[in-house]
């Protein structure tokens, strides 16, 4: 088959993987080498769906022995099956990289024959790149469920980031939709890699034993996956609540020190009794809320249980999780920007890690007022109701309804009105799926509901 067509099929099979980040590694090319990596990563383009394109995201092959209900590459799906040869893919990566199209390679694969055979073929591509082409750009490799630890270990020595897909947020869902997989088999390599990562971070010399067959990427002491490990799960295909999902993510961050958990809104790929119907739109607003909450876990020291509880197990569609938390916890506000500790400042809606840093650095020498905060990057539109400043020593006091109107997330309607139906309505008394007809009605409803929240 022509390479152009083959590429199309193998990109089509890979594109539902959410992660395309290239962060976490830092190195420059030495003499005779090609490629570097930036700690913050680098986006090379943005696709029509607005997602960053950083890596050449492809499958080794889209043939698969598994038959997971939610997957485009499932055995029973009627699509042409193709595969790259390792040489072909390595050459393509290099040629794309030289033209600055990409930051590196994101390599995944359907399972051909068995896990080890597939993993070996992937390993062949990565080792070709590292050894023959002296390629020092970024490589993200998926581990194939069931692959032997030896192969995973070898892959980790040449790749920057490793990931195991956790697939679905609960064991029960996994059993229903991907009966050939099980949670334990997914967590095992994750745990194993966590152990290797810890080891290579604390005492890199312990890995020296394998140094004799190490490729060029590791000068000095070898490191296992310097950009750490990540995972992703599909949301919206199965009935888990946001609370369950956040608890799972929190557990993964704590237990395995994952760099990132990615959430991928389910896009209907087939008619199936256990899956949402083909007409269902992907729950993009819900995915957006999960990412916002994920940032709160990783960079704002929030716990999953603070953001959601059994009484309200799903996010409020109308405001972001941080605003929602602030509205529900008036006892923590207002915060005096001149004196408050970093932790308290970070919890103010409209103040992020960067503006928080600036406040801490600059408040010693001066009295902060609204205009100074604005220049520092604080979003006053949200922050003003939660802070005390030199020019507003008593804070801005407004009736609940006005605050609600101000805090309403303008993004919620950008995804389309039906997005609201993906949230559990009960606890907030939100309108049901078909109840909201137009934008103004939805906005008024949101203000009414949140106004109640604010004055409560």
Partner 1 sequence: MREPTARDMVYQYDGSMEGFYCCVFEAIYQGELPAAIEAEAETQPRLFAPVWIETDREKALRVRRSIGERIAPRALELTECVFYSCLEGRELRMLCLLERCWREGAKRLWQGWSDPDLAVLLQAERHLLREAHLLKGFVRFSDYNGHLAAAITPKNFVLPFLAPHFAARYRSESYLIFDKTHRAALIYECGQSRMVEAAHIEFPEVSAQEARYRALWQRFYDTVAIEGRENPRCRMTMMPKRYWENMTEMRPELQKRLRG
Summarize as ranges the residues that interact with partner 1 (CB under 8 A).
3-4, 7-8, 11-12, 15-16, 28-36, 38, 42-54, 56-57, 92, 95-96, 98-101, 103, 137, 265, 267, 281-282, 284, 358, 361-362, 365-366, 368, 371-372, 375-377, 414
Please identify, using beta-carbon distances, which residue of 213 and 393 lies nearer to partner 1.
393
User: Dihedral angle at the C-alpha atoms of 194, 11, 283, 288, nearest 10 degrees?
Assistant: 50
Is 329 or 354 the residue whose CB approaches partner 1 more closely? 354
Q: Which is nearer to partner 1, 172 or 366 (CB)?
A: 366
Angstrom distance (rounded) from CA 82 to CA 143: 20
3-state class (DSSP) for residue 451 = helix
| Cα gap 108→57, rounded to integer Å | 8
57 or 286, CB closer to partner 1? 57
- For the record, the structure tokens of 248 come out as 């799972």
Asked if residue 259 lies in contact with residue 24, where contact means CB atoms within 8 angstroms, the answer is yes
Give the other-Cβ count within 10 Å of 456's Cβ: 9
Residue closer to partner 1 by CB (options 371, 455) is 371
| Residue 43 beta carbon to partner 1: minimum distance, rounded to whole angstroms | 5
For residues 71 and 119, is the Cβ–Cβ distance under 8 A? Answer: no
Burial bucket for residue 298 (CB in 10 Å: 0-12, 13-18, 19+): middle
Judged by beta carbon, residue 274 or residue 390, the one nearer partner 1 is 390
CB 406 within 8 A of CB 426: no
Whether the CB-CB separation of 134 and 32 falls below 8 Å is answered with yes
Q: Which of 255, 339 has the CB closer to partner 1?
A: 339
Q: What angle do CA 84, 137, 5 make, to 5 degrees?
A: 25
Residue whose CB is less far from partner 1, 205 or 414:
414
Answer for the pair 62, 71: CB distance below 8 angstroms, yes or no: no
Rounded CA separation 86/120 (Å)? 10
Q: Long-range contact list for 13-17, CB < 8 A, 24+ apart?
A: 13/59, 13/62, 13/72, 13/73, 13/79, 13/110, 14/57, 14/58, 14/59, 14/106, 14/108, 15/57, 16/72, 16/264, 16/267, 17/57, 17/106, 17/108, 17/142, 17/165, 17/232, 17/262, 17/264
What are the tokens at 247? 């608890």
Comparison of 57 and 181: residue with beta carbon closer to partner 1:
57
142 vs 163: CA distance, rounded Å: 5
Cβ proximity to partner 1: between 270 and 375 the closer is: 375
Distance in Å, CB of 252 to partner 1, minimum: 24
HSE toward the beta carbon, residue 144, CA cutoff 13 A: 28
Q: By C-beta, is 46 or 117 nearer to partner 1?
A: 46
Rounded least distance, CB 244 to partner 1, Å: 24
Q: Tell me whether residue 6 or residue 322 sits nearer to partner 1 (CB atom).
A: 6
Is the bond preceding residue 334 a cis peptide, omega within 30 degrees?
A: yes
Report the distance separating Cα 315 and Cα 130, nearest Å.
Answer: 44
Q: How far apart are CA 53 and CA 56, in angstroms?
A: 8
């Amino acid at each position: 088959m022509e390479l152009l067509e083959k590429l199309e099929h193998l990109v089509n099979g890979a594109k539902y993987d959410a992660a395309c980040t290239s962060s976490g590694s830092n190195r420059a090319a030495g003499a005779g080498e090609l490629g570097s990596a930036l700690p913050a990563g680098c986006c090379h383009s943005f696709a029509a769906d607005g997602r960053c394109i950083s890596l050449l995201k492809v499958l080794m092959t889209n043939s698969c022995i598994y038959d997971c209900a939610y997957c485009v590459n499932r055995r029973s799906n009627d699509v042409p099956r193709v595969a790259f040869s390792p040489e072909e893919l390595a050459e393509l990566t290099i040629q794309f990289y030289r033209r600055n199209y990409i930051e590196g390679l994101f390599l995944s694969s359907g399972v051909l024959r068995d896990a080890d055979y597939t993993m070996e073929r992937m390993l062949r591509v990565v080792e070709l790149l590292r050894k023959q082409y002296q390629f020092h750009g970024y490589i993200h490799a998926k581990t194939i469920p069931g692959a032997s630890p030896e192969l995973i270990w070898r892959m980790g020595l040449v790749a920057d980031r490793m990931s195991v897909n956790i697939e679905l947020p609960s064991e029960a869902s996994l059993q229903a939709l991907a009966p050939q997989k099980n949670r334990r088999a997914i967590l095992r390599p994750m745990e194993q890699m966590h152990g290797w990562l810890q080891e290579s971070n604390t005492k890199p010399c312990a890995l020296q034993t394998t140094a004799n067959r190490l490729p060029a990427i590791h000068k000095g002491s070898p490191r296992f996956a310097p950009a750490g490990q990540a995972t992703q799960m599909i949301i919206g295909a199965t009935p888990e609540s946001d609370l369950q999902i956040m608890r799972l993510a929190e557990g993964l961050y704590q237990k395995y020190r994952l760099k990132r958990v990615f959430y991928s809104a389910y896009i209907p790929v087939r008619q199936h009794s256990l899956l949402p119907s083909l007409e269902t739109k992907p729950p993009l607003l819900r995915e957006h809320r999960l990412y916002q909450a994920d940032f709160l876990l990783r960079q704002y020291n929030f716990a999953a249980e603070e953001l959601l509880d059994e009484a309200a197990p799903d996010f409020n569609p109308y405001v972001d999780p941080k605003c929602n938390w602030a509205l529900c916890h008036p006892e923590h506000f207002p915060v005096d920007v001149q004196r408050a500790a970093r932790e308290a400042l970070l919890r103010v809606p409209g103040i992020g890690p960067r503006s928080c840093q600036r406040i801490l650095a600059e408040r010693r020498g001066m009295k902060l007022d609204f205009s100074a905060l604005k220049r520092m990057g604080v979003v006053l539109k949200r922050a003003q109701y939660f802070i005390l400043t030199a020019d507003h020593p008593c804070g801005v006091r407004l009736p609940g309804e006005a605050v609600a109107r101000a805090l309403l997330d303008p993004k919620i309607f950008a995804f389309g009105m039906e997005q609201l139906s993906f949230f559990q309505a009960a606890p907030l008394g939100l309108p049901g799926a078909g109840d909201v007809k137009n934008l103004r009605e939805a906005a008024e409803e949101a203000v009414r509901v949140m106004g109640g929240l604010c004055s409560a």
